Chain A
Amino acid sequence: MKFNMFTKALAGGVALSAMLTGVALADPAVIYDLGGKFDKSFNEAAYNGAEAWKAETGGSFLDLELQNDAQREQALRRFAGQGANPIVMAGFSWTAALTAVATEFPDTNFVVIDTVVDAPNVQSIIFDEHTGSYLVGVLAALKSETGTVGFIGGMDVPLIHKFYCGYAQGAKAANPDIKLIENYTGTTPAAWNDPVTAGELAKAGVDAGADVIFAAAGGSGLGVLQAMKDAGKFSIGVDSNQNYLQPGSVLTSMVKRVDVAVKTALTEAADDATFKPGLTIMGLAEDGVGYAVDDNNEALLTPEMIAAAEDYKAKIIAGEIAVHDYTTDSTCPL
């Protein structure tokens, strides 16, 4: 009888470990932020990274587009409860939801991009947006004929100020007399998806003399790119390479290699041996950020402009130029 119980317990243990193995082999999940999977910007970069991982490994992944803020915790719990592992989230608004859920599922590996969550099973990937923005700021100032360059952010949050602050420092470095116009599309998450208001802001910027405008505004940025094209001026895209959206008008794009981050995360975090909980910073040296040059904008950038940008890039990597990060002290010394 005792033996029988033992075998039962053993069988139970085997079954449980089989289930656990099943969990470990489960599909990873990717959750996009508000703005939509195909925003041609941040979320789309995350999606492209996941697709690249899928093409390379032949694996499959679950994904979800959020419709509103209230769904965050629910979505996380559902995926974690289903045994998805790892779970990758794109967006800075995940902090609260992930902090709550990460402790509930200690065996699940979470990767969050653009914010920092301190938990033993969370890898936080952040980008040095300020240094990438610095370089496009240099290019904007060198391209500008009016001596005025603009910036249109999405939602008015510290992360977007970080973009602006880097951009402004770069523009000032290339041309100390440059005039900067700073605008934000709104103060709610709807500001990521409001191309009409963003386009109107761009027109106002053009009227005020700006001939290059950097749009760090997710889906709203499409309105800026269109408005600058209509006005015959230049825009700078963000996150994904947006040069192709309005060829000949998009000066360059401040690319944030969210796709690389997602692809690496899906590969590494699937296995506890390679999972790197804690903080990962992707900067210029890691090619995590940079400016995009391709067929669509080659003609807009002179060799001198590229040389100047490369020079600043080398100096930033070498530590000769320290680009101030707005998020460290919420100020932007210019």
Chain B
Amino acid sequence: MDLSAILSILDATIRLSTPLLLACLAGLYSERAGIFDIGLEGKMLAAAFAAGAVAAITGSAWIGLAAGMSVSLATALLQGVAAITLRGNQLIAGVAINMLAAGLTTFLGQTWFSQGGRTPPLGEGGRFVPINLPFANEVAGVPIIGPIYYELISGHYILVYIAFLMVAVTAYVLYRTRFGLRLRAVGESPKAVDTAGISVVKLRYQAVIITGLLCGIAGAYFSIAQGSGFGNNMTAGKGYIALAALIFAKWKPVPAMFTCLLFGFLDALQIRLQSARLGGVEIPVQAIQALPYVLTVILLAGFIGKAVGPKAGGVAYTKER
């Protein structure tokens, strides 16, 4: 395995972990504020559809992204009303969102475009294109550092850079700002926050809004960056993997990034290990494809230690009278 093969796997790792990372950070805001969010998958799917459909009609990736984020935001607010204002069960609200998104996207897609629930393939401008960072071509010839910069760091979609930037932003917001302190507090002890005269409901809605926007970017990444157009159920369970990554990372932003990179790496490895041979025997493709999931179970069960979520998670806040 030479440097270019390793770089190729790592390059794919970054591409594949980006939607996981965005969804994971989205879940982080919501869960840190005390709202379990099982509906990441549904919000991403709705956003992927909206982005794909609008980008196909307008021919603009940016308008598609805005549509994806808006729809995801609306979905998140719906979930928020159910879980915060109406004090419904948060898990049920999330599951409802997932089912709604899975059915509605295919139905609307079929009604609008008559392509079996798909949105039309996107032309030039309708998709985000990889961007080359400055000096990428110039330094490509430099040994080791050159290829790493050219192959691995440069040449990704802008949403990829946004995702990794969001890790730093989230870490700063969570640990260095007043909003972050209150957000963490409201997930641990909403009563204390309320006693201090801060609105629990307002804080939780703010968290849900951020979750919606980030899920929107993640969803748009599927349909207008990585793919070209929306396909039925194209998020393929990534929302649940992001949720697993969030628990694995113990609800912390930087560990979340590494966890998502790990899951992305396993996925990339799975793709490249197909028809690989071990001692002259071809490894069955099923075994290779199961690898990421098997390792996920092993890692979650064996290596994570005790993962304790925010104390007030899953409980709607009722103000005492």
Residues of A in contact with B (beta carbons under 8 Å apart): 35-40, 43, 65, 156, 181-184, 186-187, 190, 193-197, 199-201, 203-204, 207-208, 219, 222-223, 226, 245
**18 CB-based A-B contacts, threshold 8 Å:** A36-B117, A38-B114, A156-B285, A181-B275, A182-B274, A183-B271, A187-B286, A187-B289, A190-B236, A195-B234, A196-B227, A200-B12, A200-B268, A203-B12, A204-B271, A208-B5, A219-B116, A222-B229
A133 to B84, CA, bound (A): 58
Tell me whether B232 and A204 are in contact (CB under 8 A). no
B272 touches A194 (CB 8 A): no
Q: Are B285 and A187 in contact (CB under 8 A)?
A: yes
Q: Is B16 an interface residue (CB 8 A)?
A: yes
Q: Chain A contacts of B15 at CB under 8 A?
A: 200
In the bound assembly, the distance between CA atoms of A226 and B126 in angstroms comes to 13
Q: Please tell me if B70 contacts chain A, counting CB pairs below 8 Å.
A: no
Scan residues 202-247 of chain B and give those whose CB is less than 8 A from a CB of chain A: 222, 226-229, 231-234, 236
Give the complex CA separation of A186 and B16 in angstroms: 17
A196 and B236 in contact (CB under 8 A), knowing A36-B117, A182-B275, A226-B121? yes
Known contacts A156-B285, A199-B226, A199-B227; is-contact A36 B275 (Cβ 8 Å) = no
Task: Looking at the assembled complex, report how far the CB atom of B52 sits from the nearest CB atom of chain A, in whole angstroms.
Answer: 12
Residue in A40, A186, A190, A195 with the greatest tally of chain B CB atoms within 10 Å: A195
User: In the complex the two chains form, is A36's CB within 8 Å of B271's CB?
Assistant: no
The CA of A199 and the CA of B234, in the complex, are separated in Å by 13
Complex Cα spacing A10 to B51, Å: 66
Once A184-B274, A201-B271, A204-B12 are accepted as A-B contacts, the answer to whether A38 and B118 lie under 8 Å apart by CB is yes
- CB under 8 Å from chain A, chain B span 256-310: 268, 271-272, 274-275, 285-286, 289
Q: Which of A37, A182, A193, A196 has the most chain B CB atoms closer than 10 A to its own CB?
A: A196
Residues of A within 8 A of B274 (CB): 182-184, 201
* Chain B residue with Cβ nearest A181: B275
Query: In whole angstroms, how far apart are the Cα atoms of A186 and B4 in the complex?
Result: 26
Contact between B285 and A184, CB atoms less than 8 A apart: yes
Contacts of B233 in A (CB 8 A): 193
**In the complex with contacts A65-B116, A223-B227, A207-B271 CB distance below 8 A:** no
Chain A residues whose CB sits within 8 angstroms of the CB of B231 once the complex forms: 193-196, 219
Instruction: Collect the chain B residues with CB atoms within 8 Å of residue A182's CB.
Output: 274-275
Q: Which residues of B contact A199 (CB under 8 A)?
A: 226-227
Counting CB contacts under 8 A, is B8 at the interface? yes
How many angstroms from the CA of A304 to the CA of B272 in the assembled complex? 34
* In the complex, B318 has a CB within 8 A of chain A: no
| In the A-B complex, the 10 residue pairs with the closest CB atoms | A36-B116, A207-B8, A38-B115, A38-B116, A226-B228, A183-B274, A204-B272, A196-B227, A187-B286, A204-B271
Q: Which residues from A are CB-within-8-Å of B114?
A: 38
Q: Which of B106-125 contact A (CB under 8 A)?
A: 114-118, 121
Q: Give the number of chain B interface residues (Cβ < 8 Å).
A: 30
Most interface-central of B115, B116, B118 (chain A CB within 10 A): B116
Q: How far is the CA of A187 from the CA of B215 in the complex (A)?
A: 29
A39 touches B116 (CB 8 A): yes
Bound together, the chains give a CA A195 to CA B118 distance in angstroms of 11
Residues on A with C-beta less than 8 A from B272 are 204
* Chain A, residue nearest B129 (CB): A230
Q: Which of B229, B231, B236 has most A Cβ within 10 Å?
A: B231
Complex Cα gap A203–B267 (Å): 14
Q: How far is the CA of A35 from the CA of B232 in the complex (A)?
A: 9
- For the complex formed, measure the closest distance between the CB of B176 and the CB atoms of chain A, giving whole angstroms: 36
Encode B1-28 as 1/0 by CB contact (under 8 A) with A: 0001100100010011000000000000
How far does the Cβ of B95 sit from chain A's closest Cβ, in whole Å?
A: 20
Distance, CA A200 to CA B121, complexed state (A): 17
A196 to B121, CA, bound (A): 13
Bound Cα distance A36, B227 (Å): 18
On whether the beta carbons of A186 and B289 are closer than 8 Å, the reply is yes
Q: Smallest CB-CB separation from B115: which chain A residue?
A: A38
Cα distance A38–B274 in the bound complex, in angstroms: 29
- Which of these, A184, A196, A201, A245, contacts B234 with CB under 8 Å? A196
Contact partners of B236 in chain A: CB under 8 A: 190, 194, 196
Among B16, B222, B232, B285, which residue has its beta carbon within 8 angstroms of that of A193? B232
Q: How many angstroms from the CA of A124 to the CA of B7 in the assembled complex?
A: 49
Q: Are A200 and B271 in contact (CB-based, < 8 A)? A: yes
Cα A232 to Cα B191 in complex, Å, equals 59
Q: How far is B228's CA from A195's CA once the two chains are assembled, in angstroms?
A: 9
Report A213 CB to chain B, min CB distance, Å: 14
A183: chain B residues at CB < 8 Å are 271, 274-275
Q: Beyond A65-B116, A207-B8, is A36–B232 a contact (Cβ under 8 Å)?
A: yes
Question: Which chain B residue shows the least CB distance to A152?
Answer: B274
Looking at the assembled complex, report how far the CB atom of A63 sits from the nearest CB atom of chain B, in whole angstroms. Answer: 12
- In the assembled complex, the Cα of A202 lies from the Cα of B56 at a distance in Å of 23
Contact of A195 (CB < 8 Å), options: B4, B227, B271:
B227
The minimal Cβ–Cβ distance linking A193 to chain B, given in whole angstroms, is 6
Complex Cα spacing A194 to B226, Å: 12
Tell me the minimal C-beta distance from B1 to chain A in angstroms. Answer: 12
Nearest chain-A residue to B19 (Cβ)? A196
Q: How far is the CB of B118 from chain A (nearest CB, A)?
A: 7
How far in angstroms is the closest Cβ of chain B from A266? 21
- With both chains docked as a complex, state the minimum distance between the C-beta of A197 and any C-beta of chain B, in angstroms: 7
Q: Are B232 and A197 in contact (CB under 8 A)?
A: no
Given A156-B285, A182-B275, check contact A36 B118 (CB 8 Å): yes
Beyond A193-B232, A195-B227, A196-B226, whether A204 also contacts B118 by CB under 8 A is: no
A201-B270 Cα distance, complex, nearest whole Å: 10
Residue among B12, B118, B275 facing the most chain A CB atoms (10 A cut-off): B118
